[in-house]
Chains A and B, each alone.
Chain A
Amino acid sequence: MKLLIKILSYLGLGLTLFPSFLLFSGIIESGTCKQLMMFGTVLWFITAPFWMNKNQSSEEDL
């Protein structure tokens, strides 16, 4: 489950960045880029808190 959430988080991060490369290369339009980035943003903030802060806690316990 945790692995799945992590994968979704990185997918969200990827969707935040890579559409701009596609826009720069002329493969997608500006509107599509903005929509994909918004989707990536939502995905990141929904999933990342579940594993990022937990990793921090376990590291501090070491």
Chain B
Amino acid sequence: MQNENSLLAKLNAVNEYEQQPVPNNKLKGWRSFLGTYAGEHTAGTEFVIGPLFVAHGASAVDLVTGLILGNILAVLSWAFLTAKIAVKTRVTLYYLLEKIAGHQFTTIYNLVNAGLFCFLAGAMIAVSATAVGIPFDMTMPQLTDVYPNNVGWVVTVFVVGAITTVVAMFGFDQVSKFAMVAAPWMIMVFIAAALAVLPRLGVNEIGSFWSVAESTIWTGVPLEGQSKFGFWHILFFAWFCNMAMHIGMADLSLLRYAKKWEYGFSSATGVFLGHFIAWIASGILYSLFLIESENSLTFAPGPIAYSAVGVAGAICVVIAGWTTANPTLYRAGLAIQSINPKWKTWKVTLFVGLFTTIAACFPALVMMLLEFVALYGLILMPVGAVIFIDVYVLERLGLQSNYAIITGSRLNWSVALTWLITLSCCLLLNLALGIEIFFLGLPGWFIAVLVYIVASKINQRK
């Protein structure tokens, strides 16, 4: 009983400064961010995205050049957009948005946001489950699966989901500590797995790698039924796959703990280890799987990694999924909790974890990950543009920033219109001009900026 009370007290004592600026004595050093970013972006998604580039017929040259440039743009976005605003304000995205857009808008946004976070965390729990199920000879999901097709899959997903949720309930510190420990090891496993299978692909010396990469791994020919990915697809995907985090400002929640804005550059550890080395490594593994299985439809990162480097590979898939799912669940918990600050963080996380675990049972979350990641960034992007303009531009134009809290408004129509008009324009660009979802973020950001300035001028003139 005393133990139960002690655990409850510990959970209740978790204070993540959701409704106030982070105090100076709670700021974190650069190592915390290096570990968090490296852990978060060397993750379960990497076991899915790298293979999907192979499936979409990316050529070796397009892949390497597109990833380098796209990743540089992503790091610059984190440092110059997110980190600067995070250090200036020291509050979460949700708290800042409430001051700008009002409580009603924030409530709607938070629900949408939390839902998207849950689906992403769910995909990662599913990736982990493909490795956990190996010893039980579980039937693995197929590329075409939408619904769960066996009880073993559902049970495995629930076990992984329960463990992930319990860890996330203890807050950012626990997540950060675990990510720090796992990150260096995970990247070693990614590299080792790719190296270990190269001889099976016909690479017996370093000098022959590039020719095999062009002729066998990234052939430039998409699998049947898949669209063709070129240089610009790769560049924009690498830049925008975390659009919600940098341009969309979700990482204000993490970077508000940074002592200096320059810590935003620590995201480079994540993108160049995870979104370069790990994507290339997982692409190599999937390419070998396709050759050896004669283009099997089974899509399960766990068995693929296990085949390459044994139990260590399977454990890597579990942990990679886990270190993505954990901070994502934490973010989803923050999003829901900001609707009612009186709710305890751990109780909210428990609820979010349950919802996420149910979503994780559907394999479609994994199979359509590229499209989901792009959509997720696009939906959250306009709010990032609003925050950027509100913090840096509005007052220079003689307009009021933090309009909702200053006027006591519960709904700032300028923000609501910006969100709706931007997403409508993006949908129109997609349907009328056929612009793929991966490219909509850039024009969308400029549309959001323009609409917010014009809408604010009209709204505040009243």
Enumerate chain A interface residues (CB-CB to B < 8 A).
12-13, 16-17, 19-21, 23-24, 26, 30, 33-35, 37-38, 40-41, 44-45, 48-49, 52-53, 55-56, 59-60, 62
B31 touches A45 (CB 8 A): no
A60 touches B28 (CB 8 A): yes
Question: Which of A21, A48, A56 has the largest number of chain B CB atoms within 10 A?
Answer: A56
| Chain B residue nearest in CB terms to A39 | B312
The CA of A37 and the CA of B181, in the complex, are separated in Å by: 17
Q: Which residues in A have their C-beta under 8 angstroms from that of B35?
A: 52, 56
Q: Which residues in A have their C-beta under 8 angstroms from that of B181?
A: 45, 48-49, 52-53
**B131 vs chain A, min Cβ distance (A):** 13
A41 touches B312 (CB 8 A): yes
B195 touches A26 (CB 8 A): no
Decide yes or no: A53 and B185 within 8 Å by CB, A34-B310, A41-B312 being known contacts.
no
| Chain B residue nearest in CB terms to A62 | B29
The CA of A62 and the CA of B189, in the complex, are separated in Å by: 33
Contact residues, B369-398 vs A (CB, 8 A): none
Q: Which of B188, B195, B311 contacts A23 (CB 8 A)?
A: B195
| Chain A residue nearest in CB terms to B195 | A20
A37 touches B31 (CB 8 A): no
Q: Does B180 contact A (CB under 8 A)?
A: yes
Compute the total of residue contacts between A and B using a CB distance below 8 Å.
Answer: 84
Q: Interface majority SS on A: helix, strand, loop or mixed?
A: helix
B29 touches A56 (CB 8 A): yes
B309 touches A20 (CB 8 A): yes
Contact residues, B334-375 vs A (CB, 8 A): none
**A55 vs chain B, min Cβ distance (A):** 7
B196 touches A23 (CB 8 A): yes
The CA of A12 and the CA of B315, in the complex, are separated in Å by: 15
A59 touches B199 (CB 8 A): no
Contact residues, B241-270 vs A (CB, 8 A): none
| Chain A residue nearest in CB terms to B192 | A20
B188 touches A13 (CB 8 A): yes
| Chain A residue nearest in CB terms to B27 | A60
The CA of A20 and the CA of B305, in the complex, are separated in Å by: 13
The CA of A33 and the CA of B197, in the complex, are separated in Å by: 11
Q: Does B32 contact A (CB under 8 A)?
A: yes
The CA of A23 and the CA of B194, in the complex, are separated in Å by: 11
**Per-residue contact bits, chain B 398-442, to A (CB 8 Å; 1 contact, 0 not):** 000000000000000000000000000000000000000000000
Q: Which residues in B have their C-beta under 8 angstroms from that of A21?
A: 195
A16 touches B189 (CB 8 A): yes
The CA of A24 and the CA of B193, in the complex, are separated in Å by: 11
B199 touches A24 (CB 8 A): yes
Q: Which residues in A have their C-beta under 8 angstroms from that of B189?
A: 16, 37, 41
